[in-house]
Amino acid sequence: MKPALVCAILLFMPVRSAAPLHTRRQASASRLTENPQVRAALDWFGRNPSWINDTQARLTEIPAPPYQEEARAAAMKELLTEDGLPTNIDKIGNVVGELRGANENEIVLLSAHLDTVFPAGTNVKVHRSGGRMMAPGISDNGTGIAALVAIARAMQSAHVKPERTILFAGNVGEEGEGNLRGMRELVDTYRKGLKAVVVLDGSGTDYVTTKALASRRLEATVTGPGGHSWSDFGMPNPINALVRGAVRFINTKVPVSPRTTFNIGQIEGGTSVNSVPYEAKIKVDIRSENEEELGRLESALRESIAAGVRDEMDPPRDRSRGALEWKVELLGSRPGGELSPDSPLLAALRAADEFIGNQSRIERSSTDANIPLSMGIDAISIGAGGTGGGAHSLQEWYDPEGRETGLKRALLTVLGIAGVAEEKAR
């Protein structure tokens, strides 16, 4: 073997560091926290718990039903602007504050969704009892948006200068039929420089979502001529057909692994008890760890509804007086994807966990992180600390006890991946 070749082989041999992985992680998190600005930012959380709680209550009390997030976005813009961040609201309603990094071409996005599942008119007044706060949306995502503002404020008041630009985004359209449109827009806008996305959603510090659960939302509609319950008896009935089809659909076998689920979440139709309805609809949510199973389940829904319509048109009664039509439409689709186990983003999260003495498990879930993950951009979704429960119900609650851990975890993760700019020698 020629000496030059040996050299080349040695050069390209993977280098193994002598230090075990966790030691290296610890080293990177403690290097970060050796920086006085970063330490000051971490300390800010412990000094301002009531400001954070009050901000959470204030933002939660501004209604933000799907497609009506404007008022909450405006309040958030004001808060981020107060922090001294240049902030704008984009064309679909996302509010974005920018903490410019030394390297402006590379971006880390920290986001929290603004929208709730609750329709306009829902009472969102926050009640406090003991340490707890209660209101629809208080945890999902009052916790996330309060954390976003708090992290921005902590970094600004401590004069943290990141290496990569950090964007603080309160985004629209995460829940239900919002179909992740806010995150789609953000990824679209910043795609070129986007290195990582950290999504803050709800409470907790015990998990990290690195796997995006693929899901689809479908609406099945059956229509017919409609008529009078007595004089038009025999007229094919869209509700009957839909019920027949739905019964077939819910008998569909789904695998335990890959885990695959379905839910008929809404049903509507008809105008009065003594009318043959002219329309009936169901909304169905299907999810799977595997995209193929999702396709299979969507086909099963179409076949079931078609069969339900056929069943309804069959004898025993004369159906010559009208026919039924049906359709199944896709309301939304969330693509799947996974973060690589050796991604720098996951390493940053693990380093933050070790530094604060936290343990967290990997989860698969359907979140705003689905969009970047499906496009090969590193992303995670995490809770913003404290504990909460009753998400998507009127009994939703949040307890800020231990919130500081979640805020530190998020801040260290974001700075772990964004980096802190080297101070110029003076």
Which residues are at the interface with Zn ion (CB under 5 A)?
Answer: 140-141, 201
**Shortest Cβ distance from residue 207 to Zn ion (Å)?**
14
**Shortest Cβ distance from residue 202 to Zn ion (Å)?**
5
Instruction: Check if the beta carbon of residue 299 is closer than 8 Å to that of residue 248.
Output: no
Judged by beta carbon, residue 151 or residue 347, the one nearer Zn ion is 151
Judged by beta carbon, residue 52 or residue 180, the one nearer Zn ion is 180
Distance CA 265, CA 267 (A): 7
Judged by beta carbon, residue 141 or residue 237, the one nearer Zn ion is 141
Distance CA 271, CA 219 (A): 19
Q: Residues near 12 by Cβ (< 8 Å), separated by ≥ 6?
A: none
Long-range pairs, 290-293, Cβ under 8 A, ≥24 = 290/214, 290/258, 290/260, 291/214, 291/336, 293/254, 293/255, 293/258, 293/260
CA–CA–CA angle 303, 262, 124 (5° rounding): 130
**Shortest Cβ distance from residue 141 to Zn ion (Å)?**
4
CB burial of residue 414 (10 Å; 0-12, 13-18, 19+): buried
Judged by beta carbon, residue 176 or residue 269, the one nearer Zn ion is 176
**Shortest Cβ distance from residue 108 to Zn ion (Å)?**
20
Distance CA 308, CA 313 (A): 9
Structure tokens at 182: 């806010």
Q: What is the DSSP letter of 52?
A: H
**Shortest Cβ distance from residue 364 to Zn ion (Å)?**
16
**Shortest Cβ distance from residue 381 to Zn ion (Å)?**
9
Structure tokens at 136: 């629809």
**Shortest Cβ distance from residue 18 to Zn ion (Å)?**
43
Judged by beta carbon, residue 308 or residue 385, the one nearer Zn ion is 385
Shortest Cβ contact with Zn ion: which residue?
140
Judged by beta carbon, residue 115 or residue 312, the one nearer Zn ion is 115
Identify any residues that bridge with 18 across adjacent strands, giving them in sequence order. Answer: none
Judged by beta carbon, residue 202 or residue 236, the one nearer Zn ion is 202
Judged by beta carbon, residue 371 or residue 415, the one nearer Zn ion is 371
Instruction: Check if the beta carbon of residue 12 is closer than 8 Å to that of residue 340.
Output: no
Instruction: Check if the beta carbon of residue 203 is closer than 8 Å to that of residue 145.
Output: no
Judged by beta carbon, residue 176 or residue 245, the one nearer Zn ion is 176
**Shortest Cβ distance from residue 139 to Zn ion (Å)?**
9
- Phi first, then psi: give them for residue 405, nearest 5 degrees: -60, -45
**Shortest Cβ distance from residue 403 to Zn ion (Å)?**
17
Instruction: Check if the beta carbon of residue 382 is closer than 8 Å to that of residue 410.
Output: yes
